[in-house]
Structure 1
Amino acid sequence: MNDMIKRQRGLSMVELLVVLLIGSFLIIGITQVYLDNKRSYAFQQSQANNLDNGRFATLMLNQYLGKAGYRRDPSQLVEFAFPAMKAKDDCQDFKAGHAVTGFATDKGEGKGTGFCIRYQPQVSGELDCQGTASDVEYDEAFKSPSSNDLIVLAFKYEPDDTDLSEGSLLCKSLNAANPQYGELLTGIADLRLDFGVGSADVLEKEVTTFVPQADWTSASGAIRSLRYSLLLASKENQRDSNDSKVLTDWLANAPAATKTRLENADKKRLYQVANSIQTVRNFMP
Structure 2
Amino acid sequence: MTSTKRQLGLSIVELMIALAISSFLILGITQIYLDNRRSYAFQQNQAGNLENGRFATLTINHYLGKAGYRRNPSTLLEAVFPARAAGGGCQAFKAGHAITGLAASEGTGFCIRYQPQASEELDCQGEASGVEYDKAFPSAPASEGDLTLLAFKYEPSEGALQQGRLLCKSLNTATPQYGELLTGIADLRLDFGVGSNDVMEKKVSSYIPQADWSPDSGAIRSVRYALLLASRDRQRDSDDSKVLSDWLATAADATKSRIQKADNKSLYQVASSTQTIRNFMP
Which TM bucket (shorter chain)? over 0.9
Letter matched to residue 256 of structure 2: K
Kindly report the root-mean-square deviation, in angstroms, between the aligned alpha carbons of the 2 structures.
Answer: 1.0
Question: What SS does structure 2 have at the residue aligned with 1:154?
Answer: strand
Question: What SS does structure 2 have at the residue aligned with 1:153?
Answer: strand
Deviation track 1:218-276 (CA, whole Å, cap 9, x = no partner) reads: 01000000000000001111011111010001001100000001111111110000011
Aligned residues: 278
Letter matched to residue 263 of structure 1: Q
Aligned partner of 2:159 among 132, 157, 162: 162
Question: What SS does structure 1 have at the residue aligned with 2:92?
Answer: coil
2: CA distance, partners of 1:52 / 1:68: 25
Aligned partner of 2:183 among 175, 182, 186: 186
2: CA distance, partners of 1:62 / 1:32: 45
The match for 2:103 is 104
The match for 1:74 is 73
Give the 5 Å matches for 1:30-45.
Answer: 30-45=29-44
Give the 5 Å matches for 1:241-252.
Answer: 241-252=238-249
Ranges of 4+ aligned residues in structure 1 off by more than 4 Å? none
Give the 5 Å matches for 1:259-278.
Answer: 259-278=256-275
Shift of 1:284: 2.4
Shift of 1:17: 0.5
Letter matched to residue 223 of structure 2: L
- More deviation in 166-175 or 195-204? 195-204
Shift of 1:145: 3.6
Deviation track 1:185-217 (CA, whole Å, cap 9, x = no partner) reads: 110000000000011211111001000000000
8 Å contact from structure 2 (residues 67, 279) kept in 1:
no
Question: What SS does structure 2 have at the residue aligned with 1:49?
Answer: helix
Task: State the percentage of identical aligned residues.
Answer: 70
1: CA distance, partners of 2:117 / 2:123: 11
Give the 5 Å matches for 1:46-195.
Answer: 46-105=45-104, 110-143=105-138, 145-195=142-192
Question: What SS does structure 1 have at the residue aligned with 2:23?
Answer: helix
The match for 1:228 is 225
Query: Mind listing any 5+ residue stretches in structure 2 that lack a counterpart?
Result: none
1: CA distance, partners of 2:142 / 2:115: 7
2: CA distance, partners of 1:183 / 1:210: 28
2: CA distance, partners of 1:251 / 1:129: 31
